[in-house]
């Protein structure tokens, strides 16, 4: 593992603001206590994000302005029609930006629910160069349709799609105050076993649900995994997701195209024209678990031209095992990771099998992860 994905844990600049990030209870359960931060939805590389994080002074959102627990009853209270500001409040912060969108935090006071009010994340889609108005609206609508179809506690709740005063298509979503998984790893470094296991099981629950619904994400990575301050994980950003099997179909469609983020992309993407994108998602979850436990990427690209990926293949083929995975305790854990990172997609474990595995059955998920907020 040759390249740090995140800053080293001994950095004096980004000390964890909450040393008691995870609290162990006498009954064997645990609680997460994550700091409320400004999220970076940026699609740039990690080093660029780290520099930007430094320049922002590790900015935090005042706790008296943001409800740390999502009240799901509010999702049915917004009035029909009207502008973004009248329905969801004024913009307070730019949470992040990428090549295709900008995400802002909107805050709407509510005198009936105390001083905190309601907080939302609003994703404004950016029209691409030479993109027709029809294609622009179709792209925003496609993501919204998939996102609203998925109703699961480990998937970000998508609320509305409407135009702002500038004619931009805007998608309104629940706000996750603890930011994304990448920001957490930047801030604290590697996670301990209990914390990583809890988040991983929540991730697999969300992925398995997507696959059972016929949807593939295709861009699973820490930047697209959001967290509440209580430790509930939410999968976000369905910009390149697709439906590979509709309810009336007996078989799934194959996917194509070189899409995703290279460190998390499975090897078959580079060598086959059509592939099972569900196996692509599973591969990415395995990479993410190792990232959570080590705060490092396994390799830059899953091709033989990458020395670390080549070393991984040789280590697995020799029967010796790959050192970064061999360091983890528990034979069930190690075997499942190897099965998730099986280079032959036909032999790779699927998300339902992961969810029903002995390892995940033994993982205790925090109460926030169980209830969804």
Q: Please report the pLDDT score of residue 110 as a whole number.
A: 83
- pLDDT value of position 77: 38
Closest CA to 198 of 26, 32, 17: 32
Q: How many CB atoms lie within 10 A of CB 195?
A: 21
Domains of the chain by start residue, with CATH: 35-174 (3.30.200.20), 181-371 (1.10.510.10)
138 annotated ligand binder: no
pLDDT, mean over the chain: 86
pLDDT computed for residue 14 by the predictor: 36
Low-confidence ranges of the chain (pLDDT < 50): 1-5, 7-18, 39-79
Q: Can you give the pLDDT at residue 250?
A: 87
| φ/ψ bin of 100: left (φ > 0), alpha (ψ from -120 to 50), beta (otherwise) | alpha
Residue 219 designated active-site: yes
Helix (H, G, I), strand (E, B) or coil at 196: helix
pLDDT digits 0-9 by tens, 265-307: 999 999 999 999 999 999 999 999 999 999 999 999 999 999 9
Catalytic residue chosen out of the listed positions 160, 197, 219, 281: 219
Checking DSSP bridges between strand 242-243 and strand 215-216, what pairing results, if any? antiparallel
Q: pLDDT tens for residues 206-258?
A: 999 999 999 999 999 999 999 999 999 999 999 999 999 998 998 899 999 99
Complete DSSP assignment for 234-296: EE---TT-EE---TT-SSPPPEES--S-GGG--THHHH-SEE-HHHHHHHHHHHHHHHHHHSB
pLDDT at site 176: 96
DSSP string, 51-116: HHHHHTTS-B--TTTS-SS--GGGGGTSPSSS-HHHHH-EEEEEEEE-SSEEEEEEEE--GGG-SS
- pLDDT at residue number 80: 53
- Please tell me the predicted confidence (pLDDT) of residue 11: 34
């Amino acid at each position: 593992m040759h390249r740090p994905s995140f800053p080293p844990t001994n950095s004096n600049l980004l000390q964890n603001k909450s040393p008691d990030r995870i609290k162990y209870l006498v009954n064997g359960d645990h609680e997460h206590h994550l700091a409320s931060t400004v999220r970076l939805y940026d699609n740039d590389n990690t080093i660029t994000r780290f520099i930007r994080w430094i320049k922002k002074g590790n900015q935090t959102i005042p706790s008296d302005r943001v409800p740390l627990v999502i009240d799901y009853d509010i999702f049915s209270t917004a009035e029909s029609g009207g502008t973004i500001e009248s329905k969801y409040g004024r913009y307070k912060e730019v949470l992040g930006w990428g090549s295709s969108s900008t995400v802002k935090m909107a805050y709407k006071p509510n005198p009936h629910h105390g001083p905190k009010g309601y907080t939302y994340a609003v994703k404004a889609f950016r029209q691409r160069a030479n993109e027709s108005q029809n294609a622009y609206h179709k792209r925003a609508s496609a993501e919204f349709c998939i996102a609203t179809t998925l109703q699961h506690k480990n998937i970000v709740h998508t609320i509305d799609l409407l135009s702002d005063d500038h004619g931009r298509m805007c998608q309104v979503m629940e706000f996750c105050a603890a930011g994304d998984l990448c920001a957490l790893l930047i801030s604290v470094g590697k996670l301990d076993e209990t914390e990583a296991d809890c988040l991983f099981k929540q991730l697999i629950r969300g992925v398995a649900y997507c696959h059972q619904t016929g949807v593939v994400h295709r861009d699973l990575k820490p930047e697209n995994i959001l967290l509440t301050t209580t430790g509930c994980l939410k999968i976000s950003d369905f910009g390149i997701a697709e439906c590979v099997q509709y309810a009336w179909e007996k078989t799934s469609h194959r996917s194509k195209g070189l899409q995703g983020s290279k460190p998390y992309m499975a090897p078959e993407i580079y060598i086959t024209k059509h592939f099972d994108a569900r196996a692509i998602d599973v591969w990415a979850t395995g990479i993410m678990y190792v990232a959570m436990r080590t705060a490092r990427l396994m390799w830059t690209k899953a091709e033989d031209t990458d020395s670390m990926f080549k070393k991984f293949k040789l280590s697995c083929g020799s029967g010796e095992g790959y050192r970064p995975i061999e360091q983890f305790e528990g034979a069930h854990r190690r075997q499942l990771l190897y099965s998730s990172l099986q280079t032959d997609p036909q032999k790779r474990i699927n998300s339902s099998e992961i969810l029903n595995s002995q390892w995940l059955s033994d993982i205790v998920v925090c109460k926030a992860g169980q209830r969804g907020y």
